[in-house]
Structure 1
Amino acid sequence: MGDTQEDLLKVNLDWLQCHFTWTPQEETIDLDDMKHRLEDSILLGVKYQARSYNHLAFINCLQGNCEEAIQNLKEAERILRERHDDEFEKRILVTYGNYAWVYYHMDRLEEAQSYLDKLETVCKLFPEASRFTAMIPEVYGEKGWSLLSTAPQHYEEAKECFTKALEEDPDNIEWNVGYATVMSRLEWFSATPESHEPIDSIKQFRRVLELDPDHAEAMVLLALKLQEFNQEEEASTLVERALQKSPGHPYVLRYAAKFYRKEGDVENAVKLLEKALKITPNSSFLYYQIGQCYNDKLQALGTDRCSNGPDDPASQEKATLIEQCRHYFSEAVALKSSFTAAKLKLADILIINEEIHEAETIYSDLLELESGYPEDKQYITYKAGKFELYQKRSEPNAVTHFLEGFSIKRNSKQQKLCRTNLEKIANRRLRNNPGDIKALCILGAMYLLDGEAPGITKCFVKLKLQELFNQG
């Protein structure tokens, strides 16, 4: 194949709808963690295994395992022929696109072209398709799940994909679950403590259960949402039903465990998580959740170090819990090096254990990360600000971190926490001195970031008056 033909092949590949044109590339994915998650879903025999094999092929190709990627795609194709023969052409489009890309990466260009030819043939079956692409519900649905499994900044696009898929097939369970899940996650990022109104994901999870009353995962996810709104009785019933329907499903077990942990039943939560861990031993999420359980027990005892000596039972219990938290959070980080929440929890435990230098190292490493999700960056700067304020006693450094988190354009819990802490610092200083220049600068910077001209003017006037009084 000549250079001109190869260039044309690459142009055509870029127009395909598949994982190689949808999802973030190597620099923004924790490849090992993603691979573990996909292998776990395949091992569990989930209903939509072909989807997992397709995504796994993409990950293997990024890791240089192209022969393994081809085998993954062959499995996806086999499953689609066996389980979805009546709609094979609709569901094979993404797989053929992935085939073409993997062969391209293997420099087997004629085989890559052969899959473009197959796509061209299949696309002729769909009236509104382009030469190699048909934007049909099956493609939108798989794209939605692909984006949903990557990173928070892709959730809005995932939501759009599920919306488009459901416009043409509103009763499809697979896409209703995806839509409910992405809505739930988006609501979590934008949630505020004062919110008490019913939310869209609750309605959507109820819709899933109308379509499939035995959908155990939807039951526990709905239960977690209901728990947020203090509807414990219905939530508890749903969790019990889900565990009866799917007592050995790790996803059901881990969400049920999260429900019980929030209810204060930590022992039951740990039992369920350990059961899930035996089934999926490479799950960083499970290690993190077990760490959360022991952290809850530690918080219930109080995090101040006991002064009654190492032989005191209370001191021994706290020391044991600290070690358990350290172990599980460390394991979560070892399995997923990009697990920001686990690293920050580990830093909290190190602070409780008075290992301030080790905690500071974690914050320094996280703050130096060039890439990362905006919500993660906000959480890092918020936690680093708290660390500087309370452990290092450095208000200037704390303000710097809070302002950085506040300046990130994401309407998230973390941004609201950064705002609250900045306002507390500024208001405390102004109570002591109404003309405090540093406090006025903090408020002025916040108004500037908010785009509130009157607030900026007000702070500027106060600063100017303070300057004139100082001169006088």
Structure 2
Amino acid sequence: MSNTSRDQLKEKLDQLQCHFTWSPQKEAIDLEDMMYRLQDSISLNLKYKDQSCNQLAFVNCLQGNYEEAIQNLEEAERILRENHKDEFERKCIIIYGNFAWVHYHMGQLTEAQSYLDKLEMICKPLSDGTRYTALIPEVYGEKGWSLLRSTAQYYEEAKECFEKALEEDPDNVQWNMGYATVLFRLEAIFGTRENREQSQSVKHLRRVLELDPDESLAMVLLALKLQELKQKKEANELVEQALQKTSDYPKVLRNAAKFYRKEKDVEKAITLLKKALEISPHSSVLHDQLGMCYRSKLLELIANPLSKDPESPEFRQKAELFNDCKYHFGKAFEHRPKTAIKSQLDLADICVRNGEYSKADEIYSNLLKLDDTRPENMQTINLKAGLFYLFRRKSEVEGITLLKKALQIEIHTKIWKSAYEHLEKWAGKKLYSNPHDSMALGAKGLLHQQVHNKSKAIECYEEALQFDPGNEEYLSALCELRLSLEDRNDV
């Protein structure tokens, strides 16, 4: 096939609705962790196994494992033919799209074209749009689940997909579960509309249970929401019911463990998580949850004066708990260095508490190099690292620089407020002992700037420049402030 023909084939492939044309690509997901999660889903023989095979084919292809990708797609096709014979054509659109892309990457262009031909035959009666795909609920729904399995930056898009799938198929359990799940997750992310508004996931999780009273994962997710709403009786009943129905599903065990940890029953949570880990030994999330459980026990023990006595059992137990925390938090991001930000920050905090400053330094340094993470993650990283360098490493320049960066990410979270208060306290203390401290004056200027007190900010920056002439940061801030005042006066 000539280069022109290859380019024309690529144009057709780009029109498809499948994993290769949806948003998350190699640079946006931790492929190894995704592979483990999908393999677990397949080996556990969970619902919608064909979708897991389909997405695993995409992951294998990104890793260059083309033969494995073809095997995954053949398995997905086999499952669909066996379990959804009457709906096969509607459900195979994404599989055939993935087949076409994998063959294209293998250089098998004739085979890729053959799958495009199959798609054209299938999609023609289903769509008035592009020749090679059809925007039907089955496509929107599977896209929603694919985005939901990736990273939080794609949750809003996943929500839109489930909404579109439900417009035409409102009683579909799978799409209702996807929609409820994405709402549940978005409500936990600061700054999202779902986080600011009254919870909608409760209503939709109840809807899932109306459609399928045996959906145990919906039960535990609903229990966690009811726990937040202080509806403890129903929440406890739902968790117990879910564990009776499904005692070997890691996601149910994990969320039940989270429920019990929040209820301060840490030992029960640990038991459930260890059971889940036996089933899914590579699960990053299970290790993270176990790390949090051991940290709860550790912090309680640290408060006990006996833990400081090297001769006491409490001292030895404290050392064991430090090791447990470090092990599980470390395992939690072993395969998720780009996405498991919280686990890395938790490990850094444990290392700081244990006096392992070099290890904490290494973790913070790696996190500060991330260039594709949510702004609130970067805000947290800058705050935590800033406090570490300021108070533990006694490096004022590095610490204050990072606190200022956290403050300049203008998402007004608790983290932003903490950065503001730490910077304000530090600047006040410095100026009390030395009113001419240019670094502290510059920090005061930024603090005033952040709360839109422009005249005070200008005064502080001008004063800072008297003692540090030519400082580019202060000159730039002054220029920006003066221009904004001129613009306001011109209105």
SS in 2 for 1:21: coil
Establish whether residue 346 from structure 1 lines up as the match of residue 332 from structure 2. Answer: no
Q: Distance in 2 between matches of 1:245 and 1:104?
A: 44
Paired residues for 1:439-450 under 5 Å: 441-442=442-443, 444-445=445-446
* Cα contact 1:151–1:373 (8 A) shared by 2: no
* Cα contact 1:405–1:418 (8 A) shared by 2: yes
* Cα contact 2:403–2:423 (8 A) shared by 1: no
Number of the residue aligned with 2:259: 259
* Cα contact 2:301–2:307 (8 A) shared by 1: no
Number of the residue aligned with 2:473: none
Query: Structure 1 147/458 Cα, relative in aligned 2: closer, same or farther at 3 Å?
Result: same
Ranked by relative contact order (alpha carbons within 8 Å, sequence separation 6 or more), the top structure is 1
Paired residues for 1:28-427 under 5 Å: 28-190=28-190, 198-302=198-302, 308-338=308-338, 339-408=340-409, 411=411, 415-426=413-424
Number of the residue aligned with 2:21: 21
Match of 1:460 among 458, 461, 486: 458
* Cα contact 1:13–1:101 (8 A) shared by 2: yes
Query: Structure 1 375/117 Cα, relative in aligned 2: closer, same or farther at 3 Å?
Result: farther
SS in 2 for 1:22: coil
SS in 2 for 1:358: helix
> For residue 70 of structure 1, what is the amino acid of its counterpart?
I
Compute the displacement of 1:387 (Å).
Answer: 1.4
Query: Structure 1 406/56 Cα, relative in aligned 2: closer, same or farther at 3 Å?
Result: farther
> For residue 60 of structure 2, what is the amino acid of its counterpart?
N
Compute the displacement of 1:29 (Å).
Answer: 1.8
Number of the residue aligned with 2:489: none
Q: Distance in 2 between matches of 1:152 and 1:391?
A: 32
The CA RMSD over aligned residues, in Å, is 2.7
Q: TM-score, normalised by structure 1?
A: 0.90
SS in 2 for 1:24: coil
* Cα contact 2:57–2:68 (8 A) shared by 1: yes
Compute the displacement of 1:424 (Å).
Answer: 4.0
> For residue 173 of structure 1, what is the amino acid of its counterpart?
V
- My pick for the range that moved more, 348-357 or 224-233, is 224-233
Compute the displacement of 1:278 (Å).
Answer: 0.9
> For residue 175 of structure 2, what is the amino acid of its counterpart?
W
Question: CA offsets, 1:200-226, max 9 Å, x none?
Answer: 122221221122222100111111122
Compute the displacement of 1:44 (Å).
Answer: 1.2
SS in 2 for 1:20: coil
* Cα contact 2:307–2:318 (8 A) shared by 1: no
SS in 1 for 2:381: helix
> For residue 402 of structure 2, what is the amino acid of its counterpart?
H
Compute the displacement of 1:39 (Å).
Answer: 0.4
Q: Distance in 2 between matches of 1:398 and 1:421?
A: 11
Compute the displacement of 1:311 (Å).
Answer: 1.6
Compute the displacement of 1:371 (Å).
Answer: 3.6
> For residue 318 of structure 1, what is the amino acid of its counterpart?
K
Query: What is the aligned-residue identity percentage?
Result: 52
Compute the displacement of 1:15 (Å).
Answer: 1.2
SS in 2 for 1:19: coil
Compute the displacement of 1:373 (Å).
Answer: 4.2
Q: Distance in 2 between matches of 1:432 and 1:282?
A: 49
Query: Structure 1 189/440 Cα, relative in aligned 2: closer, same or farther at 3 Å?
Result: farther
Query: Structure 1 446/128 Cα, relative in aligned 2: closer, same or farther at 3 Å?
Result: farther
Question: CA offsets, 1:44-65, max 9 Å, x none?
Answer: 1111011101100000001111
Q: Distance in 2 between matches of 1:391 and 1:229?
A: 38
> For residue 365 of structure 1, what is the amino acid of its counterpart?
N
Q: Distance in 1 between matches of 2:343 and 2:384?
A: 13
Compute the displacement of 1:458 (Å).
Answer: 3.8
Compute the displacement of 1:134 (Å).
Answer: 1.0
Unaligned runs of 5+ in 2: 467-491
Q: Distance in 2 between matches of 1:270 and 1:259?
A: 11
Query: Structure 1 58/443 Cα, relative in aligned 2: closer, same or farther at 3 Å?
Result: farther
Q: Distance in 2 between matches of 1:103 and 1:133?
A: 18
Compute the displacement of 1:173 (Å).
Answer: 1.2
Q: Distance in 2 between matches of 1:221 and 1:80?
A: 29
Q: Distance in 2 between matches of 1:466 and 1:372?
A: 33
Number of the residue aligned with 1:2: 2
> For residue 167 of structure 1, what is the amino acid of its counterpart?
E
Compute the displacement of 1:122 (Å).
Answer: 0.8
> For residue 302 of structure 2, what is the amino acid of its counterpart?
G
Query: Structure 1 406/207 Cα, relative in aligned 2: closer, same or farther at 3 Å?
Result: farther
Query: Structure 1 457/175 Cα, relative in aligned 2: closer, same or farther at 3 Å?
Result: farther
Question: CA offsets, 1:273-331, max 9 Å, x none?
Answer: 11111111111211221111111101112369967542212212211111111222222
